[in-house]
A and B are shown apart, each in its own frame.
Chain A
Amino acid sequence: MITRRTCLGLIALSACGAFSTKAFAAQPTYTTIIVDDMHCGSCAKKIAAQLYAVPGVIEVRADVKKSAAYVVPQKRKTPSPRLMWEAVEKAGFKTVKMIGPGGSFSQKPRS
């Protein structure tokens, strides 16, 4: 028999579900790559060109002032941290730090 308490509990559960979904969506899913001296917009685009070649990358943004690139992945996918690190190397730059869903790295990741 469904009691008043049970109904209120069900509604509270539904509300919690909505809240946690929103909270989950709010967590950053992108990877931040701090580059050693990005220098200029052309340099940023060189790095971006290599990052876009990494499977699973949807969008790359860059901020030269912060010497940072931001990599937005496909839904439910994390581009290989190692491939992203190597992409920056292929562009002729050095990664200082990489932070994202795949982990935090200050040296080349294993995978």
Chain B
Amino acid sequence: MIRIILQVGCTAFVLIAAMGCEKTSNSADNIDLAEREKYLLAGEPEGAEGIVAVRERLQDGETYVLFGRVGGVPDPWSPGKAAFVIADPVALMEIGADGHDCDDGCAFCKKKKAHPSRHLAMVRVVDPDGEVVSIDARKLLNLDVEDMVVVRGKVHQDKLGNLIVHADGVHVRR
């Protein structure tokens, strides 16, 4: 009887201790942690701006710090490469009881309709030679969809108007 009680108690204790466990960097599966440390910033770079804000004042090739949420498209990953799509979380916000009608000549809504991907940016983590790192971003940076990231890098706009960030550092707000 006492043994059973002890076993139950110990099991309960172990389960409770396990409740606090979070995603750890050990989920990397053979990823070279030294590689991760090159690109994953422990501290957040200063001066983060939204994707839409950067787009509005963009000077092609300049360095910016952008915040964004991984996702915005059905599959934001580039398998085998340290590249992923982020979305401006402000553009994705649902406002409670805003009573906003997009047919009332709202400038914000007009801009959004004119360029559906204006709240998106493609992030490419590059090495010092400017080449995209050939490790999947999910492994390199321990990233997941919906993670909020702050990326630092040179920003370009391609011919289609898409924003590309050649990032030398990524910080994950977790």
The interface of chain A, by Cβ under 8 A from chain B, is 2, 4, 7-8, 10-11, 14-15, 17-18, 21, 40-42, 44-45, 48-49, 52-53, 55-66, 74-75
B16 adjacent to A40 (CB under 8 Å): no
B99 adjacent to A40 (CB under 8 Å): yes
Would you mind naming 11 contact pairs between A and B with Cβ atoms under 8 Å apart? A2-B6, A10-B9, A42-B106, A45-B108, A48-B89, A53-B48, A56-B173, A62-B96, A62-B98, A64-B97, A74-B174
Min Cβ gap B147→A in Å is 9
B96 adjacent to A52 (CB under 8 Å): no
Q: Is B148 an interface residue (CB 8 A)?
A: yes
B142-174 CB contacts (< 8 Å) to partner A? 148, 173-174
Q: Is B113 an interface residue (CB 8 A)?
A: no
Q: Is B8 an interface residue (CB 8 A)?
A: yes
Q: Is B114 an interface residue (CB 8 A)?
A: no
Tell me, in angstroms, the Cα distance from A99 to B174 when the chains sit together: 22
User: Out of A10, A52, A58, A64, which one reaches B98, CB within 8 Å?
Assistant: A64
Min Cβ gap A104→B in Å is 22
Q: Is B34 an interface residue (CB 8 A)?
A: no
Q: B47 to chain A: which residues have CB within 8 Å? A: 53
Q: Is B39 an interface residue (CB 8 A)?
A: no
Tell me, in angstroms, the Cα distance from A58 to B96 when the chains sit together: 18
Tell me, in angstroms, the Cα distance from A60 to B37 when the chains sit together: 29
User: Out of A8, A14, A15, A58, which one reaches B173, CB within 8 Å?
Assistant: A58
Given contact pairs A11-B8, A44-B93, A59-B89, a sample of 12 additional A-B residue pairs in the complex whose CB atoms are under 8 Å apart: A4-B5, A8-B5, A11-B5, A40-B100, A41-B100, A44-B98, A49-B50, A55-B173, A56-B44, A62-B93, A64-B95, A66-B97
Q: Is B19 an interface residue (CB 8 A)?
A: yes
Min Cβ gap A41→B in Å is 3
Q: Is B21 an interface residue (CB 8 A)?
A: no
